Amino acid sequence: MRPLKLIVPVISLAALAFFFPTSAQQDLPFVSEAQFQEWLDNLNNWGRWGAGDEIGTLNLITPQKRKEAAGLVQSGVTVSLARNLDDVESIDNPCPVEWEMANASPSGASDRITFRCIHGPGVTHIDGYGHRFFDGKMWNGIEMEQTVTMEEGATVNAVLNMKDGIVTRGVLYDIPRSKGVDFLPGGYRVTVADLEAWEELSGVKVGPGDAMLFRWGRWVKREIDGPFNTWDEAAGLDNNVIPWLRERDVAIIGWETPGYTPRLEGDLPTLALHDFALTMLGIPLIDRADLDALANMAASQNRWEFMLTIAPLPIPNGTGSPVNPIAVF
Give yes or no for residue 283 having a pLDDT over 50.
yes
pLDDT at residue 215, as a whole number = 98
Do residues 251 and 61 touch, judged by C-beta distance below 8 A? yes
Residue range 185-194: mean pLDDT, rounded: 97
Instruction: Tell me: pLDDT of 288 over 90.
Output: yes
Whether 291 shows a pLDDT value over 70: the answer reads yes
Give the rounded percent of residues in the chain with a pLDDT score beyond 90. 91
Please report the pLDDT score of residue 14 as a whole number. Answer: 42
Which domains, from first to last, does the chain contain? 32-83+124-328 (3.50.30), 87-123 (no CATH)
Q: Smallest Cα–Cα separation from 167: which of 300, 40, 255, 64?
A: 64
- Say what the pLDDT of residue 27 is: 82
Give residue 6's pLDDT band: very low, low, confident or very high (50, 70, 90): low
Question: What's the whole-number average pLDDT of the chain?
Answer: 93
pLDDT confidence of 226, banded at 50, 70, 90? very high
**pLDDT mean over 296-321:** 98
Q: With 80 as the cut, is the pLDDT of residue 311 above it?
A: yes
Predicted TM-score (pTM) of this structure: 0.93
pLDDT attached to residue 15: 47
Q: What is the bridge-based pairing of β-strands 236-237 and 78-80?
A: unpaired
> Mean pLDDT throughout 66-85?
98
CA 283 – CA 318 distance, rounded (Å): 17
Assign 122 a pLDDT band (cuts: 50, 70, 90): confident
Give me the percent of the chain exceeding a pLDDT of 70.
Answer: 92
- Picking from 254, 214, 216, the residue whose alpha carbon sits closest to that of residue 233 is 216
pLDDT of residue 25: 76
pLDDT, average across residues 164-173 = 98
3-state helix, strand, coil in the chain (%, to 5): 25, 20, 50
- pLDDT at position 270 is 96
- In this prediction, residue 18 carries a pLDDT of 45
Q: Tell me what pLDDT residue 1 has.
A: 42
